Amino acid sequence: MNIRSTLFKTFAKSSPRLRGFTKHFYFGHPFLDAWFAWFPLNQIEYGGAAVGEIYNAASRIDESKSAISWVTEWSAEGERLKTHAETLLKRNHDFSAANAFLRAYTYYRTAHLATEPGNTNKEMHKTYEDLSYCFDRFIELSKAPIEKIKVPLKRTMKATDQEMHGYFLKSKNNNTQEPASTIIWLNGAESIAEDVYWWCGAEGIERGYNVFVVDNPGDTATKIYNENIVNKGAGDDTLISQMDYLLTRHDVDPKNIFVYGISMGGYRASRFGQIDNRMRAIVANASMLNVSKVLDDCRKVYKAPKDAQGWGRRMCWQYGIDYSNLKQGLEELVDDVWGKFVVNPEEIKVPFLVMAGENELGKEGIRQAHEFYDRLGSKTKTKRIVTEYECGEAHCQLNNFPLARQIVFDWIDDIRKYQ
């Protein structure tokens, strides 16, 4: 690490933490430190990363160059592991190659977080191509019970160019002809379908659940692989299409479909419960009544440092908004697009778990979670606020995936047994 980066790290340590984190992990820069906790630290579990590899890449990053250095070094680590995996494969070491491809995926995925359609547009597409390739090779070589799928988006008569890409993870040791309980995972605004493996996929199949996920309109991956699929209104057509697809599968128990959403997926999960009652129960982490009000501060990103402005450009681009004037683009994003993302919890009747970190996206985020619970129309409802004492105070427990999974799966298990 050079002197300039060291000085930057020292100065940046005094900056406020992001996404509800109260602890410092490695980087002084709050954006990088939050990304570092989310990816790759959380992916050590289930073989998605190695400590030595993580800190090898992290030690090379120049924090004063922020996003550019981040993308360069994590991509380099991904490339090194991918090359190693290919060598192992040529030597017929399929098991070892699968593990190396999975770790390479994580490092490309970590790099991808900091890309955007402006300064790192080429890298955004390249890292997505590389991470997708590595994840697919992992599935193939490990023989993991994961099926790549395409779900028709039911909004026009022509569905051929309107398909959402994703995965169906099959319950372990379950007869393929026997329907199983299934979890629909709804990802966040910065997530991609492959992330499901660590949020609830790997553990879900071990616990006897199918786990299903697609990239939604408005997500980064969707915009990359088909720029013609854009979010419309509250996104209801996306949610109904997913449920309709699941109910065509013989390996899904239609009476035991659960919905679990994180971050922006917390909104989607809540909205799902308002417009559809075919699910058994819902977990929203975290529940939002009005996305625009929770994310109101995002309109100020145009005044922030370049890396934060890159995040703003990316969010606008994902939702099909012109970001040439970033201030105007962010106003449209917050007021017009996210302004349509609202939920009336009184209309939700299925069992519901309201989940949040106690530092959830600022005061408005946690306030809405409490109000959401109070207004819920569900007869069976639970509120679980995860605390700093439990090491899960951050947004969606980005600092404690195992705890988040334990809370979610135990609650769903109890619904299956007792409700």
**pLDDT of amino acid 349:** 98
**Phi and psi of 122, rounded to 5°?**
-60, -45
Cα 99 to Cα 81: distance, rounded to the nearest angstrom: 10
> What pLDDT was estimated at residue 11?
45
Residue 152, strand partner residues: 163
6 vs 31: which has the higher pLDDT: 31
DSSP state of 170: P
The helices-and-strands tally (H runs, E runs) of the chain is 16, 8
Given a cut of 60, whether residue 6 has pLDDT beyond it is: no
Give the Cα separation of 71 and 164 in Å (integer): 27
Residues 46 and 105: their CA atoms lie apart, in Å, by: 13
Residue 280 CA to residue 405 CA, distance in Å, equals: 18
Looking at residue 11, its amino acid is F
Strand partners, 167: 148, 213
Read off the tokens for 138: 């992992």
Kindly give the interhelix angle for 67-90 and 51-58, rounded to the nearest 10 degrees. Answer: 140
For position 353, what pLDDT does the model report? 98
Q: Strand, helix or coil at 147?
A: strand
Confidence of residue 134 (pLDDT cuts 50, 70, 90): very high
Question: Looking at the predicted structure, is the pLDDT value of residue 14 above 60?
Answer: no
List the chain domain ranges: 3-137, 145-290+341-418
Eight-class DSSP state of 256? E
CB-CB contact of 183 with 260 (8 Å): yes
Q: How confident is the model at residue 392 (pLDDT cuts 50, 70, 90)?
A: very high
Average pLDDT over residues 352-360: 96
Contact 37, 21 (CB under 8 A): yes
Closest C-alpha among 53, 79, 63 to residue 29 = 63
**26-67 per-position pLDDT tens digit:** 988 888 898 999 999 999 999 999 999 999 999 999 988 778
Q: Where are the alpha helices (DSSP H) in 143-198?
A: 196
The amino acid that residue 365 corresponds to is G
Centroid of chain to Cα 200: 11
| CATH architecture designation of domain 145-290+341-418 | 3-Layer(aba) Sandwich (3.40)
Please state the rounded mean pLDDT for residues 383-392: 97
- Overall average pLDDT of the 294-299 stretch: 94
Q: Which residue in this structure is represented by tokens 């809370």?
A: 407
**Closest Cα to residue 50, out of 109, 104, 98?**
104
DSSP code for 301: G
**Cβ–Cβ under 8 Å, residues 272 and 212:** no
Q: What is the DSSP string of 122-135?
A: HHHHHHHHHHHHHH
**Measuring CA to CA, which residue among 32, 24, 23 is closest to residue 1?**
32
DSSP letter (8 states) at residue 309? H
Distance CA 288, CA 254 (A): 27
Residue 173's pLDDT band (cuts 50, 70, 90) = low
> Which CATH architecture is the domain 3-137 placed in?
Up-down Bundle (1.20)
pLDDT band per the 50, 70, 90 thresholds, residue 24: confident
What token pair was written down for 251?
Answer: 């390996």
Question: What's the chain's average pLDDT?
Answer: 92
- Among 190, 257, 198, which Cα is nearest to 405's? 198
Model confidence at 376, pLDDT cuts 50, 70, 90, reads: very high
Question: Residue 120: is its pLDDT beyond 70?
Answer: yes
pLDDT above 70 for 417? yes
How far apart CA 21 and CA 42 sit, in angstroms, is: 14
Q: In the sheet that 352-357 helps form, which strands lie side by side, from edge to edge?
A: 146-152, 163-169, 210-214, 180-186, 252-262, 281-285, 352-357, 381-386
**Structure confidence by residue, pLDDT tens digits, 226-259:** 988 999 999 999 999 999 999 999 999 999 999 9
In this predicted structure, the answer to whether residue 1 has a pLDDT above a threshold of 80 is no
